Amino acid sequence: MALAEHLPALIVITPLSCAFMAPLLYRRHALASGYMVLLSLLITLVMSALLLLKVNREGPLSYQMGNWSPPWGIEYLADPLRLYMLVVVIAVSLWVFFYALKDLEHELRREVIGWYYTLYLLLVASMAAMTMTNDLFNLFVLMEICAISSCAIITIKQDRECLEAGFKYLILSAMGTGCYLLGIAMLYMVTGHLNFEYLQNELSTAVAIYPLNVFTAAALFIVAFGTKAALFPLHVWLPDAHASAPSPSSAMLSGLVIKIYAFSLFLILYQVFPRSLLDSLPLSEIVLWLAALGVMFGSIYAMMQKDLKKMLAYSSIGQIAIIFMGIGLDQRLALVGGLYHIAVHAVTKGMLFMAAGAIIYATGVRKISDLAGIGRAMPLVLAAFTIGSASMIGIPGTGGLISKWYLALGALEIGRSLFVLVVLSSSLLNAIYYLPIVINAFMSEEDFAHKVNEVPKMLQLALVIGMIFIVVAGVFPRPLILLLGEAVANFF
Amino acid sequence: MAEKTVVAIQIIIVLFPIIMAPVIMYSNRISDKLRNGLSVLTAAFTFVLTMTLYPFIKNGGVVQHSLFEIIPNLEISIRLDLLSFSLASLASFVWLLATPYSLAYMSKEHACGRYYPVLIFTLGSCQGIFFAGDLFSLFVFFELMSIIAYILVIHEQTEEALKAGYKYLVMTIIGGLALFFGMIIIFELGGTVSLGVGPIIQEESVLGLVAFICFLIGFGMKAGMFPLHVWLPDAHPVAPSPASALLSGIMLKTGAYGLIRVVFFVYSFQLLHAFDWDDILAVLAVITILLGSAVALTQTDIKRRLAYSSISQMGYVLLGLSIFNTNAITGAIFHIFSHAFMKSALFLAAGSIIWKTGKRNIADLRGIGHQMPITMGCFALAALSMIGIPPLSGFLSKWTLALGALDVGMPGFVLVLLISSLLNALYYLPIIIPAFFELPGELTIKHHGDVHHEPRIKIEEAAPLMLLAIVLLASCTLFFGLTPNNIAYGLSRLTAAFLLGGGGL
């Protein structure tokens, strides 16, 4: 079938084209516009799943945009690893949008909701493309789209806090992109290529002639992606941005956007830089240590927060660091753990932000200390929060345990027990700041002091879906783990 | 009985209470009676089902069955052998008694709609621990039970309870992480965590030792081993009394059970012995025994005193476990049985007293034996058994333990046991003696010439259901001490032989 061959392009084009139709339709018929976005995401998800099945059956697929072959044209690569990330991105976006449909009416002015749909779909399209692109410059373009749209879904709320946070994010993000562009330039200078594969071939010889260029490029990439993915100590923009944004935006930003950059860095480290370079430069060592620090500091900062969404945002810094640890440990099992954690944390943190959003929706409360007794007033929302917390801690039966298991196993395999302890202490620290909220919500003697409005059914349904995801990820992780295990096998 | 039937029965034993928990929670909306009835029925059914496995066990059957794979080489599996059967039958028995006791006790308490489902759920997860066929399943159920039991600990929801509960929860998480670490090391070293493949760790290594210490931390924390016992004296007394009885009587034992599994199935006792790793256990056990007893002396709240006593009693089990011969292991396992009966009886009796009179302070319990003769009689029986007076079951376990210690030429351990008995006497007798031989504080003996007129004290016993549980448990301590050829002692002997013989592998 002709269409099936163009799936990689269609996956990007579908949300992209809908992005520009959504606000037009929104003027005429607000509800239809929302459902159109939902439908387009659903179609994209189905296409991604089909592509994954096809690739799993027939092996990796290379797609050339406009039939221009690689050294000149843009190549999209569909292998199991990238498609795993793609499916995670689309599935989580669909799920978050489901929640956004009802929540946005509450958080935004009516006129801008149509534009929010545009930004949302642009963000999804750019992330989907980022998972597949095999071209450094194309990645740059997509990163810019991603950065601008994610910045805009924060500032769209138009209050002082959001504008300030959005501006901070924009500046730091632009700095990151700048570093990245400079890095590409350095590599292009010595190799004349932008395609991953061609670069990798050329670099193994080029590094001997122009070592300084390549080293600088590597350093620039780490700074670029470190800033964008909030790797400690480049995380300063994240807490404000993620906490002040509308809840669906927070769920997207914390759940997916920071991970897509971590994933891109991972692709560049493993698919662009030749193995010999990785062995001679302590790149992964740097990532590893920064990640270990991030795990500790993210959690410690989170403990000090009084605002619920701020706490969740700081917790993301610790969790993205867990993913970076998987990349930095440079070991197959650890990498599987890190990549699995991308999906687990996307759902977990997404759901936690949704739960926080539902609390704000129904009661307007944001302060942690005001949540006493809320569990009895909103049992379902707090049940979701509890399951999310359990997954953060890594309690058996939740996805968090599986990713920690693989990370720890990988660290042990190469004899670095210190990092096992880091992973374990992250669990403990998470317990220390998540559990009191849960306990206080359900067991406090005092009753909840604020008025509770009803939470719309759709919001509740979205939370239930999240809970199911997390438990399934904890009990039946086998197929995904096998897929990831095979996908990363050829890096080692 | 075919192996398939056994596996099916085991799965039902574990899952039935877990499934019934939400049913009970829902039935609470319909009527209290239905909820109570369902809770008791579930406990009874679980007990009966567990006992149906006895013929299979008696014939020396061992089952190891893998259910499904979670991730490659890591599965949920089920195991039945003498050790799991011993503990599972004990647990379901005590639950069977504690649940009807709760009906009466909890009638004065709030939030019963939460209490019963949790009580039944912990039963299921407890059986899951005992039937787990590999460390991972064990870990899953262990965490499940520990975390759910939190709700029992903080049932009163007072500030004190919440504080104790938080301490409990943090320690549980730390213990869980230690177990996780240990398990991962075992997986890394041996490639499996199954309990059915014989000793996984065959040679000495630093990592092996680290894992062993992790298991000591994880399981020892649960068993109240020094220095990880700190949560126990806070958490056990604040729970409602039937829950305290289960926490102290059964859930503590899951820690000891885990250690037994680790010592005999993950490592081999020969290995531990050869590298003197068992000494760590022995030293901690001795400290635990002495410290628990010594601190119990200073407690004035009756339930706190009982909780400290639990710490010291668990020390016996650990001590027995650190000596690898038939007598010592028999003693350790039999002590699990007898301590479950004694301590549950004590906690339930103390609960009855608190329920009826509201008195918790030991100084206020003078003369309570006149008012509640049966309850206090059972309390006395169980306390004497704690001290180790023949012919009660506590004597039998200490005797066997002491024999085991002498067999390996360690009279020092016997001395520890004797000192601990003395200390037990020192803190139990001052409860019992004033209870029977003095009068309640507000009454005094009036003198009319030479004639003593003792004032009449009205007998006010607790509810019949509560009495039943206490009497049954106290008579168990008598019965299992009086007739050394009983089922519990027999099982302990068989289990010890089974463990030392390589666990039927």
Size of interface A-B (CB pairs under 8 A): 74
Average pLDDT (B361-383) is: 86
B363 close to A (CB below 8 A): no
B366 vs A138, higher pLDDT = A138
Q: Domain of residue B394: give its range.
A: 276-505
**Cβ B329 vs Cβ B319: under 8 Å:** no
**Cβ A149 vs Cβ A129: under 8 Å:** no
Closest CA to B470 of B386, B390, B377, B370: B377
Closest CA to A477 of A354, A336, A293: A336
Q: With a CB-CB cutoff of 8 Å, which residues 404-423 of chain A face chain B? A: 404-406, 408-409, 412-413, 417, 420-421
* The pLDDT value given to residue B483: 81
* The pLDDT value given to residue B454: 63
Average pLDDT (B301-311) is: 89
Query: Which of B69, B139, B173 is closest, CB to CB, to A428?
Result: B173
Closest CA to A128 of A76, A63, A197: A76
- How distant is the Cα of B140 from the closest Cα of chain A, in angstroms? 5
Helix (H, G, I), strand (E, B) or coil at B503: coil
* B278 Ramachandran zone, left/alpha/beta (phi>0; psi -120 to 50): alpha
A276 close to B (CB below 8 A): no
B72 close to A (CB below 8 A): yes
Closest CA to A375 of A439, A306, A307: A439
Helix (H, G, I), strand (E, B) or coil at B31: coil
Res B504 pLDDT > 80: no
Which two tokens mark B255? 């820690």
* The pLDDT value given to residue A241: 87
* The pLDDT value given to residue A46: 93
User: Which helix H or strand E contains B6, and what residues bound it?
Assistant: helix B3-30
Res B444 pLDDT > 70: no
The string of DSSP letters for A412-476 reads HHTT-HHHHHHHHHHHHHHHHHHHHHHHHHHH-SSPP-S--PPPPHHHHHHHHHHHHHHHHHHH-
Asked if A445 lies within 8 A of B72 by C-beta distance, the reply is no
Task: State the residue for tokens 């292991």.
Answer: B329
Which two tokens mark B82? 């003498």
* The pLDDT value given to residue B442: 61
Asked if A405 lies within 8 A of B69 by C-beta distance, the reply is no
Domains of chain A by residue range: 282-492
Asked if B170 lies within 8 A of A404 by C-beta distance, the reply is no
Query: Which of A393, A396, A412 is closest, CB to CB, to B188?
Result: A412
* The pLDDT value given to residue A181: 94
| Strand B74-80 to B63-71 pairing | antiparallel
ipTM confidence: 0.84
* The pLDDT value given to residue A290: 92
| Residue A180: Cβ-neighbour burial (10 angstroms; 0-12, 13-18, 19+) | buried
Question: Which residue does chain A place closest to B144, by CA atoms?
Answer: A396
| Number of structural domains in chain B | 1
Going by pLDDT thresholds of 50, 70 and 90, the confidence category of residue B448 is low
Question: Which residue does chain B place closest to A402, by CA atoms?
Answer: B71
> Residue B482: inside a domain, yes or no?
yes
B162 close to A (CB below 8 A): yes
Which residues of chain A make contact with B188, given a CB cutoff of 8 A? 409, 412-413
Burial B405-442 (b: 16+ CB within 10 A, else e): beeeebeebbebbeebbebbbebbeebbebbeebebee
Which residues of chain A make contact with B180, given a CB cutoff of 8 A? 394, 404-405, 408, 424
Q: Which of B173, B185, B189 would you mutate first to test chain A, the one with the most A CBs within 10 A? A: B173
Q: Which of B125, B142, B177, B181 would you mutate first to test chain A, the one with the most A CBs within 10 A? A: B177
Per-residue pLDDT of A340-382, as tens digits, reads 999 999 999 999 999 999 998 888 888 888 888 888 888 899 9
Q: Which of A424, A425, A442 would you mutate first to test chain B, the one with the most B CBs within 10 A? A: A424
Per-residue pLDDT of B124-149, as tens digits, reads 999 999 999 888 999 999 998 998 89
* The pLDDT value given to residue A341: 93
Asked if A396 lies within 8 A of B173 by C-beta distance, the reply is no
Q: Which of B160, B184, B192 would you mutate first to test chain A, the one with the most A CBs within 10 A? A: B184
A281 close to B (CB below 8 A): no
The string of DSSP letters for B266-332 reads IS-HHHHHHTTHHHHHHHHHHHHHHHHHHHHHT--BHHHHHHHHHHHHHHHHHHHHHS-SHHHHHHH
Per-residue pLDDT of B158-186, as tens digits, reads 888 888 888 898 898 899 999 999 998 99
Task: State the residue for tokens 């079951």.
Answer: B393
Which residues of chain A make contact with B124, given a CB cutoff of 8 A? none
Average pLDDT in chain B: 86
Query: Which of A412, A431, A435 is closest, CB to CB, to B185?
Result: A412
* The pLDDT value given to residue B452: 62
Residue numbers of chain A with a pLDDT score lower than 50:
none
Which residues of chain B make contact with A476, given a CB cutoff of 8 A? 70
Which residues of chain B make contact with A478, given a CB cutoff of 8 A? 69-72
> Residue B491: inside a domain, yes or no?
yes
> Residue B479: inside a domain, yes or no?
yes
Res B54 pLDDT > 80: yes
- How distant is the Cα of B162 from the closest Cα of chain A, in angstroms? 8
Which residues of chain A make contact with B154, given a CB cutoff of 8 A? 439, 443
Q: With a CB-CB cutoff of 8 Å, which residues 418-477 of chain A face chain B? A: 420-421, 424, 427-428, 431-432, 435-436, 439, 443, 445, 475-477
Whole-angstrom Cα distance, residue B277 to residue B268? 11
A141 close to B (CB below 8 A): no
B160 close to A (CB below 8 A): no
Which two tokens mark A128? 């989907």
A485 close to B (CB below 8 A): yes
A373 close to B (CB below 8 A): no
Whole-angstrom Cα distance, residue B252 to residue B234? 14
Which residues of chain B make contact with A432, given a CB cutoff of 8 A? 170
Query: Which of B70, B169, B185 is closest, CB to CB, to A477?
Result: B70
> Residue B415: inside a domain, yes or no?
yes
B414 close to A (CB below 8 A): no
| Residue A473 CB contacts under 8 Å (≥ 6 apart), including other chains | A343, A344, A347, A391, A398, A399, A402, A480
* The pLDDT value given to residue B459: 77
Whole-angstrom Cα distance, residue B371 to residue B456? 10
Which residues of chain A make contact with B182, given a CB cutoff of 8 A? none
Query: Which of A404, A409, A424 is closest, CB to CB, to B187?
Result: A409
Closest CA to A343 of A421, A398, A287: A398
Residue A106: other Cβ atoms inside 10 A: 15
Res B449 pLDDT > 90: no
Res B330 pLDDT > 80: yes
- How distant is the Cα of A480 from the closest Cα of chain B, in angstroms? 9
B210 close to A (CB below 8 A): yes
Query: Which of B139, B157, B174 is closest, CB to CB, to A396?
Result: B139
Asked if A485 lies within 8 A of B184 by C-beta distance, the reply is no
Q: Which residues pair with A133 in a beta bridge?
A: A76
Which residues of chain B make contact with A477, given a CB cutoff of 8 A? 70-71
B52 close to A (CB below 8 A): no
Asked if A405 lies within 8 A of B71 by C-beta distance, the reply is yes
